[in-house]
Amino acid sequence: MKVLLVDDDRAIVDMLYHVLLDEGYQPTTATNGIEALEHLSRRSFDLVLTDLKMPRMGGMELLGEIGKLRNPPLVIIITGYATVETAVCAIKMGVYDYIIKPFNIDHVKLTVRRAIEKQRLERENIQLKEMIVLYNASEAISSSLEATRIIEVMLDAACVQSLADLAVLYLRDEMSRDLVLSGHQGSSGTERECEEFVGSLPAVVAENHLRPFFNGHGVRISAPGSPLHELLCAESPHRGEVGSLLSISLKANNRFVGLLNLFSLTPGVTFSDHDGRALYILAAKGAGAIENAFLYENTQQNYLQTIRSFACALEAKDRYTHGHSQQVTRYAEAIARAMKLSVDEIELLGQAGMLHDIGKIGISEAILNKPGPLTASEYEIIKQHPVTGKHILMPITSLSLIVPIVYHHHERWDGSGYPDGLGGADIPLMSRILGVADAFDAMTSIRAYRRPLAPPEAFAEIFRGSGSQFDPAIVDIFLHLRTSVEALMLRG
Ligand SMILES: [Fe+2]
């Protein structure tokens, strides 16, 4: 345990120095407040024993400065000039105890022992809280595959753990190999102040400028004027406000993938090695998770692109169904707009429309393009396409909402459809909309075995299916849209 002794009376300092040494503490001495602050800026102490009246800087002023430190030590005042006013003022400023000279050595020993024990418990408590913050963040990071969510959790935990005023994340751009500002989180000031500060920081930092600072180091703490501080605060008019900057390199699979910067804008609050060590572990975990999330999102996008291409290819090779999905989507969206569905719902319906027959990928062309009625077993194969579609789309997390729409698009209002024989409102609304749109386009399109129906005949067929094949409410809306549907037909 480190104790700082501050007194201009050499005899008292020497005596207390040996007493504390005998008690097993590591004492350091200073003869006034200025000297004491120099010691406090270089290393952390558990306890400060200070006189009140000293040249250059007295005990009360020193106490005020100690209060601004990030992890302030406890303070015991030892004075020969005690007044009720100074005692009250000192206690208000958070002083732990007040010893009057001349003092009894045993009393000093006991007071120091009690203070050290209190300090130990408080530090343990703080460490425990920090561990809980880090543990919760780590759990949240592990359980997410969304890069934006992971970044949010990481920045938030970094601010809480280090008491930083602002956390800024740079991620490496694989093409340019530069670090690009990718996220930030402020914990003090208004949102506007935070945005303004972040806006003044460099949006891109060249990796080769940064790399020399992190050769063999994962964490860097820089003070104003240092080269790293200059590089990261660059042209910012606020760089003078950044009293301390903690930078942590992010590595995933042994590759440099980004940089987490924590800014202290509070005068006197500087980051410690302890902050760096704790956050390095969190940053490493976050970096790995961000990489995984990007990889996952990339894989999902590729997969989605692949099945979209398959859907196009499926229609392209068959002149009878060419453009079918596109046309079904147009009709379905027109119905949805008339039903006043939300923009998000209409977008969802659009995606489902484009992919509703994706399951036909698994069906042979001989059956799909058969120029005549299907046999019972061929019809059974056709009926499998919503199920196959579900299996194809299910692995794409971002499409999870359209899977049931696609799966149920051949259900009938009277319950005689497939694959599950759902009826009425049990069929998802968007599947019911697709059902009407799908049937109308099939009827009005040319097929290998029949001519297309003219629009009036097709509308009449839809009307005939109201209440048996189709939801009557949707049929009503569709029939009211007759003119716009015919205009959409011309577009196809
Ligand atoms: Fe279908």
- Residue 48 is part of a domain; what is its CATH number? 3.40.50.2300
Cβ atoms 411, 387 nearer than 8 A: no
| The residue to which tokens 């005899």 are assigned | 11
Which residue, among 162, 159, 140, 139, has the nearest Cα to 149 in the 3D structure?
140
Identify whether residues 446 and 412 lie together within a single domain: yes
Would you write out the chain's pLDDT as a tens digit for each of its 492 residues?
Answer: 899 999 999 888 999 999 999 999 999 999 999 999 888 887 888 899 999 888 888 888 998 888 877 778 899 998 887 677 777 777 787 888 888 888 888 998 999 999 989 888 888 888 788 788 888 888 888 888 888 899 999 999 998 888 889 999 999 998 888 999 999 988 777 778 888 888 888 889 988 888 888 877 889 998 888 888 888 887 788 877 888 899 999 988 888 889 999 999 877 678 888 888 888 888 888 998 998 888 888 888 887 787 777 777 777 766 667 788 889 999 999 999 999 999 989 989 998 998 899 888 878 888 887 888 889 999 999 999 999 999 988 888 778 899 999 999 999 999 999 999 999 999 999 999 999 999 999 999 887 677 889 999 999 999 999 999 999 999 999 999 999 999 988 765
Identify whether residues 283 and 324 lie together within a single domain: no
Rounded to an integer, what distance in angstroms lies between the CA atom of residue 49 and that of residue 77? 6
Q: How many folded domains does the chain comprise?
A: 3
Identify whether residues 340 and 218 lie together within a single domain: no
Distance 481 CA to ligand 1 centre (A): 22
Q: DSSP per residue over 233-283, as a string?
A: HTT-TTGGG--EEEEEEEEETTEEEEEEEEEE-STT----HHHHHHHHHHH
Distance 434 CA to ligand 1 centre (A): 9
Distance 409 CA to ligand 1 centre (A): 7
Distance 341 CA to ligand 1 centre (A): 23
Question: Is residue 307 a part of any domain in this protein?
Answer: no
Identify whether residues 358 and 265 lie together within a single domain: no
Distance 355 CA to ligand 1 centre (A): 9
Give the number of other CB atoms < 10 A from CB of residue 213: 17
Question: What is the domain-level CATH number for residue 399?
Answer: 1.10.3210.10
Distance 383 CA to ligand 1 centre (A): 8
Residue range 284-326, pLDDT digits in tens: 889 989 988 888 888 888 877 877 777 777 777 666 677 888 8
Distance 312 CA to ligand 1 centre (A): 15
Question: Is residue 203 a part of any domain in this protein?
Answer: yes
Distance 407 CA to ligand 1 centre (A): 9
Phi, psi (deg, nearest 5) at residue 446: -75, 145
Distance 388 CA to ligand 1 centre (A): 11
Question: Is residue 137 a part of any domain in this protein?
Answer: no
Rounded to an integer, what distance in angstroms lies between the CA atom of residue 244 and that of residue 260? 14
Rounded to an integer, what distance in angstroms lies between the CA atom of residue 401 and that of residue 407? 11
Distance 346 CA to ligand 1 centre (A): 19
DSSP state of 171: E
Identify whether residues 148 and 111 lie together within a single domain: no
Distances (CA, A) of 275 to 71, 265, 352: 11, 16, 49
Identify whether residues 104 and 196 lie together within a single domain: no
Identify whether residues 6 and 65 lie together within a single domain: yes
Question: Is residue 129 a part of any domain in this protein?
Answer: no
Which structure tokens are listed for 489?
A: 């037909």
Distance 357 CA to ligand 1 centre (A): 5
Question: Is residue 384 a part of any domain in this protein?
Answer: yes
Q: DSSP per residue over 410-478, as a string?
A: T--TTS--SSS---GGGS-HHHHHHHHHHHHHHHHS-BTTBPPPPHHHHHHHHHHTBTTTB-HHHHHHH
Q: Which helix (H) or strand (E) is 33 found in, with range?
A: helix 33-42
Distance 301 CA to ligand 1 centre (A): 24
Identify whether residues 377 and 445 lie together within a single domain: yes
Distance 372 CA to ligand 1 centre (A): 18
Distance 356 CA to ligand 1 centre (A): 6
Rounded to an integer, what distance in angstroms lies between the CA atom of residue 308 and that of residue 314? 10
Question: What is the domain-level CATH number for residue 196?
Answer: 3.30.450.40
Residue-number span of the structural domain to which 285 is assigned: 144-289
Residue range 145-182, pLDDT digits in tens: 888 899 999 999 998 888 889 999 999 998 888 999 99
Identify whether residues 217 and 326 lie together within a single domain: no
Which residue, among 86, 102, 134, has the nearest Cα to 9 in the 3D structure?
102
Which residue, among 432, 441, 492, 491, has the nearest Cα to 466 in the 3D structure?
432
DSSP state of 203: S
Cβ atoms 34, 58 nearer than 8 A: no
Q: Which helix (H) or strand (E) is 11 found in, with range?
A: helix 10-22
Identify whether residues 105 and 17 lie together within a single domain: yes
| The residue to which tokens 């920045």 are assigned | 155
Rounded to an integer, what distance in angstroms lies between the CA atom of residue 149 and that of residue 451? 53
Identify whether residues 112 and 148 lie together within a single domain: no
Amino acid at site 255 = R
Q: Where a domain ends, among 289, 308, 341?
A: 289
Distance 197 CA to ligand 1 centre (A): 54
Rounded to an integer, what distance in angstroms lies between the CA atom of residue 236 and that of residue 151? 24
Question: Is residue 191 a part of any domain in this protein?
Answer: yes
Identify whether residues 374 and 421 lie together within a single domain: yes
Distance 344 CA to ligand 1 centre (A): 23
Q: Where a domain ends, among 68, 103, 119?
A: 119
What is the side-by-side strand order in the sheet with 166-172?
Answer: 204-205, 179-186, 166-172, 255-264, 244-252, 219-222
Question: Is residue 308 a part of any domain in this protein?
Answer: no
Question: Is residue 73 a part of any domain in this protein?
Answer: yes
